Structure 1
Amino acid sequence: MPTERFTFPGHSGDKLAARLDLPDGPHLATAVFAHCFTCGKDITAARRIAARLSGMGIAVLRFDFTGLGHSGGEFENTTFSSNIADLEAAAEALSKRGMAPSLLIGHSLGGAAVLSAGQRIEGIRAIATIGAPFHPGHVTANFRSDIDRIQTDGVAEVNLGGRPFRIGRDFVQDVETHDLEDGIGALRAALLVLHGPLDAIVGIDNAAQIFAAARHPKSFVTLDDADHLLSRAEDAEYVAEVIAAWAGRYLDLRPPAPPPGVPEGIVRVTEADATGFLQDIQGGPHHHILADEPITYGGTNRGLSPYGLLSAGLGACTSMTIRMYARRKGWPLDGVSVEVVHNKSHAQDAATGSQERVDRFTRTVHLTGALSDDQRQRLLEIADKCPVHRTMENASVIETALAPADPA
């Protein structure tokens, strides 16, 4: 996905740093991602969600709130209300660019912020929260032992996750008095609440309160044993998949019709786990699958192997071709299934560097229905006419180019 550096003025005029993840194909909608308390735009969850949504044609703006990450301003001068104002400023900046957002996504305190900002930003049709607190003041539990010092001195340095942050009295007072309940009930957007029952930072009861306060359409999805920060790759991946599927129900993601004769589109394959071989495959705005290797070859077995995908393409094309022919002939074909076996392992090929290019695909076609022997034999012959079969039999030209390096 193309990623563009993006800056815009925050609530106090300071420049806020953002990344705008753009679709490879048509731009169908825009989302804004709000990160958790003292986190940043580049956390794993934000990157994975942005990658998945951009594959659906949804551009995603993820930015650092005032005083955090690469954004300007002093964190000690910010409040929960200023975070909301930063979100409104992000939406305004996108609108000026002709990319007004229709989806808001918030993680933890960022989830509380999008629930509040969603009432004020025009055009928001869907809001997703991840591990969000029902009361924004919940965040002060992270530095409860320092609150008296903050109240007395006006500002104090606290340790959060091993990093020092200066928090001001205004932040504490603002976050403690902010009430979301009425605003959640007044939302004019679909709501998705994602929360882990074992979340040790923001308890699952918060999700129940948010869900109860909201009007329909609303959905709740449990994150099982995921931690609050979605630190495991598979948890962040799951959240990305759920939001991507759910958002498509409420946003108009129908791409414009391509000109006659153009290819089907880009299939983008992105590494999903750098410690193994899991790959995220996105085909256009609606189709997503995973590829992987078996556990015995260092993978996690969460998807078909590359040769498995190749076999699947052959089997699917064979079945479709047989069905089209039988339908055209009016023959009584009730069902088709195709079994494909490949006699080599991709992982073994990659490890040995073998120059052997002869592959054997054994294809078994199952036909059901009151077909004559001649009809069954003719349909078996038609199997060899499927386009993928012909492509695999013929020589192909594969051209490879290196894309420009992503901005740091």
Structure 2
Amino acid sequence: MPTERLTFQGHSGHTLAARLDLPEGPHLATALFAHCFTCSKDIPAARRISGRLAAMGIAVLRFDFTGLGHSKGEFSNTNFTTNVQDIMAACAALDERGMAPGLLIGHSLGGAAVLKAAPDMAGIKAVVTIGAPDDPAHVTHNFADALPEIMTHGVAQVSLGGRPFKIDQQFIDDVSKGELLPAISKLKAALLILHSPIDDTVGIENASEIFLAARHPKSFVTLDDADHLITNPEDAEYAAEVIASWSQRYLDLKAPAPPIGAPEGVLRISEADPDGFLQDVQNGPHHHMLADEPLAYGGTNRGMSPYGFLGAGLGACTSMTIRMYARRKGWPLTHVSVDVTHDKVHAQDAAAQTGTKVDNFARLITLTGDLSEMQRQKLLEIASKCPVHRTLERRSHITTELAP
């Protein structure tokens, strides 16, 4: 996934830092990701979701709000209103590049901000919130102990996520006037709400209020046992999968024409976790899988192994070929299943004396239906004529080159 670093001017004219995650193939749509309160564009959940969307052809801009991450400015001079303005500035920067966003994604207070911004932004077709509050003032519970000092002295230093931040009275006054629910009722885009029922930072009741305030089309998906920051990679992957699948309906993605010689499209495999072996396997914009290695080999076992995919291809092709033949013959075959195992065995020829091994795929085919013994044997014979079987049995030629 190519990533471009860029900057643009925020609400106050300060330079804001951003990353634009781009598809390796055709660019089909653009999304903007707004991070959580006092977080940054580079938190794991943001990276994972952006990477997943980029894999299906959606470019994603994720940026640091004023005074956070690598962006310039003073955090103490910002508030909920300025966050909304920064989002609009980010969208304007994308528009100048000819990449106006159709999808807004916001995490926590960033989710509240995109809900506030979206009704006034043309071209937004879909909005996603992750653990968002229904009232921006909800964020003050993160530093409730400091509220008396802020009211007395106008400012206080608080610790959020182990880092010091200055919060002043203007921030408190601004979030208290957020009035998010009226903005939600005016939303003219599809809405997806993602929230964990055990979120102890922003309770699940916030998701209920947002859902009730919104008009259709709207959807709610629980994140089960995820924490507020979606720190578990499996939870981030699940959220990414849901957003990617849901957004296709509203962004009206058009699959690019496959290149000549690849009538079923292009398979693109890209790293999902540079520290492990997890891979995104993307077949066009609609089909996504994960490949991984077992725990014993240093992987996380979140997807099939490469040989697992190879065996799956053989098993699926075997089952399809049997079904097509039985259907053409009108035979009473009601169900087919194929168990595939893979192993390395010694070659049964002269090469065996040198210790050479070959790959052995064993198939166990179960045929259900009122079939005669002759029909069963014929279907067994047909199994060995499936295209993948023939490909594996004969030598293949693989060409490899580096992309420019």
Q: What's the TM-score once normalised by structure 2's chain length?
A: 0.88
Shift, 1:356, TM fit: 4.8
Is contact 1:272–1:280 with CA below 8 Å preserved after alignment?
Answer: no
Aligned twin of 2:112? 112
Is contact 1:197–1:223 with CA below 8 Å preserved after alignment?
Answer: yes
Cα pair distance change 1:333/1:194, threshold 3 Å = same
**Greater Cα offset, 188-197 or 381-390:** 381-390
**Greater Cα offset, 336-345 or 12-21:** 336-345
Aligned twin of 1:285? 285
* 1:188 and 2:188 matched: yes
Per-residue CA deviation, residues 305-352 of structure 1 (Å, 9 max, x unaligned), is 32222110111122233444555x45436443322221359xxxxxxx
Aligned twin of 1:265? 266
Shift, 1:369, TM fit: 5.4
**Greater Cα offset, 247-256 or 111-120:** 247-256
Q: Residues of 1 paired with 2:267 and 2:294: CA distance?
A: 26
Cα pair distance change 1:127/1:356, threshold 3 Å = farther
* 1:69 counterpart letter in structure 2: G
Q: Residues of 2 paired with 1:141 and 1:402: CA distance?
A: 52
Q: Residues of 1 paired with 2:70 and 2:200: CA distance?
A: 29
Aligned twin of 2:215? 215
Is contact 2:344–2:357 with CA below 8 Å preserved after alignment?
Answer: no
Aligned twin of 1:44? 44
Q: Residues of 2 paired with 1:3 and 1:399: CA distance?
A: 27
Cα pair distance change 1:197/1:368, threshold 3 Å = closer
Is contact 2:51–2:272 with CA below 8 Å preserved after alignment?
Answer: no
Per-residue CA deviation, residues 120-151 of structure 1 (Å, 9 max, x unaligned), is 11111111111111110111111223234334
* 1:81 counterpart letter in structure 2: T
Shift, 1:242, TM fit: 1.4
**Greater Cα offset, 264-273 or 356-365:** 264-273
Aligned twin of 1:255? 255
Unpaired runs of at least 5, structure 2: 346-354
Q: Residues of 2 paired with 1:216 and 1:210: CA distance?
A: 12
Shift, 1:399, TM fit: 5.6
Aligned twin of 2:231? 231
**Greater Cα offset, 357-366 or 186-195:** 357-366
Is contact 1:16–1:65 with CA below 8 Å preserved after alignment?
Answer: yes
Per-residue CA deviation, residues 43-62 of structure 1 (Å, 9 max, x unaligned), is 01101101111112111111
**Greater Cα offset, 367-376 or 381-390:** 367-376
Is contact 1:28–1:252 with CA below 8 Å preserved after alignment?
Answer: no
* 1:183 counterpart letter in structure 2: A
Cα pair distance change 1:166/1:306, threshold 3 Å = same
Aligned twin of 1:173? 173
Is contact 2:94–2:100 with CA below 8 Å preserved after alignment?
Answer: yes
Is contact 1:6–1:20 with CA below 8 Å preserved after alignment?
Answer: yes
Aligned twin of 2:89? 89
Aligned twin of 1:160? 160
Q: What's the TM-score once normalised by structure 1's chain length?
A: 0.88
**Greater Cα offset, 329-338 or 86-95:** 329-338
Is contact 1:41–1:64 with CA below 8 Å preserved after alignment?
Answer: yes
Q: Residues of 1 paired with 2:41 and 2:371: CA distance?
A: 60
Q: Residues of 2 paired with 1:403 and 1:277: CA distance?
A: 21
Aligned twin of 1:126? 126
Shift, 1:169, TM fit: 2.5
* 2:78 counterpart letter in structure 1: T
Secondary structure of the structure 1 residue equivalent to 2:207? helix
Unpaired runs of at least 5, structure 1: 346-354
Q: Residues of 1 paired with 2:11 and 2:163: CA distance?
A: 25
Is contact 2:18–2:61 with CA below 8 Å preserved after alignment?
Answer: yes
Q: Residues of 2 paired with 1:15 and 1:296: CA distance?
A: 46
How many residues get paired?
Answer: 394
Is contact 2:344–2:358 with CA below 8 Å preserved after alignment?
Answer: no
Secondary structure of the structure 1 residue equivalent to 2:255? coil
**Greater Cα offset, 153-162 or 35-44:** 153-162
Aligned twin of 1:241? 241
1:2-401 map, 5 Å: 2-262=2-262, 264-272=265-273, 274=275, 277-294=277-294, 299-326=299-326, 329-332=328-331, 334=333, 335-344=335-344, 356-368=356-368, 376-398=376-398
**Greater Cα offset, 4-13 or 250-259:** 250-259
Cα pair distance change 1:259/1:283, threshold 3 Å = closer
* 1:239 counterpart letter in structure 2: A
* 1:86 counterpart letter in structure 2: D
Secondary structure of the structure 2 residue equivalent to 1:119? helix
Is contact 2:338–2:366 with CA below 8 Å preserved after alignment?
Answer: yes
Secondary structure of the structure 1 residue equivalent to 2:380? helix
Secondary structure of the structure 1 residue equivalent to 2:182? helix
Shift, 1:193, TM fit: 1.1
Secondary structure of the structure 1 residue equivalent to 2:119? coil
Q: Residues of 1 paired with 2:302 and 2:261: CA distance?
A: 35
* 2:271 counterpart letter in structure 1: T
Q: Residues of 1 paired with 2:332 and 2:95: CA distance?
A: 54
Secondary structure of the structure 2 residue equivalent to 1:360? strand
Q: CA RMSD in A?
A: 2.6
Cα pair distance change 1:310/1:261, threshold 3 Å = closer
Q: Residues of 2 paired with 1:340 and 1:213: CA distance?
A: 51
Q: Residues of 2 paired with 1:312 and 1:243: CA distance?
A: 27
Q: Residues of 1 paired with 2:389 and 2:209: CA distance?
A: 55
Cα pair distance change 1:87/1:217, threshold 3 Å = same
